[in-house]
Amino acid sequence: MALTNRLASREDIPTLLPLIAAAIGELQKGFLDDAQIEASRSIMGIDTQLIDDGTYFVVELDGQVAGCGGWSRRATLYGGDHSQGRDPALLDPARDPAKVRAMYTHPGFTRQGVGRLILSLCEAAAAAEGFASLELMSTLSGLALYEAAGYVPIEHIEDPAGGTPVPLVRMRKFVKASPDDVRTGDRTIENHRA
């Protein structure tokens, strides 16, 4: 069966919350220890601002919700509704990267193109609004997907918000040329670090 997608609505939240919890709990095994997985729940989760902004997608396979994720024209890089330090300021597409946010695949639907579809939807929508690049904060379990999709690591951090530091990787990808791109045969990210 083919994957389908649509914009999320607030009515989807009761279905998305257990999917997100399962993704956090199951897909990080082998990358994080139990304490880090539990701590990551404090820095991950649903962001209803994305739903309200019309930038959050639901992906279905054979009538079942297989994943969700979106992008943002706001300054917050990662975190859910309950996370501290959120910044709702609007970004300037001429100079700021759009943010890929809150991507989750149900553990029963991994390796079926769910994450790639969400990324392509985010990239196309952000480019249509004039953004030349996108940025995201990856978990260790998401690195392979994002690197395969062309995202480049620009910073490694540990977020201590949940009591146990959780390793994360900030990544960026150019989706269309901007006047200040440095061209040396292919694009470099070094001159675009935040």
pLDDT band at 188 (very low <50, low <70, confident <90, very high): very low
E strand intervals along the chain: 3-7, 56-61, 64-72, 98-105, 133-138, 152-159, 166-174
3-class SS of residue 101: strand
- The arithmetic mean of pLDDT across residues 112-134, rounded, is 97
pLDDT band at 176 (very low <50, low <70, confident <90, very high): confident
| 3-79+87-189 CATH fold | Aminopeptidase (3.40.630)
Is residue 194 predicted with pLDDT exceeding 60? Answer: no
- Position with higher pLDDT, 1 vs 119: 119
Q: What are the residue boundaries of the structural domains of the chain, listed by start?
A: 3-79+87-189
- Position 22 scores a pLDDT of 98
Question: Residue 162 and residue 36: Cα distance in Å, rounded?
Answer: 8
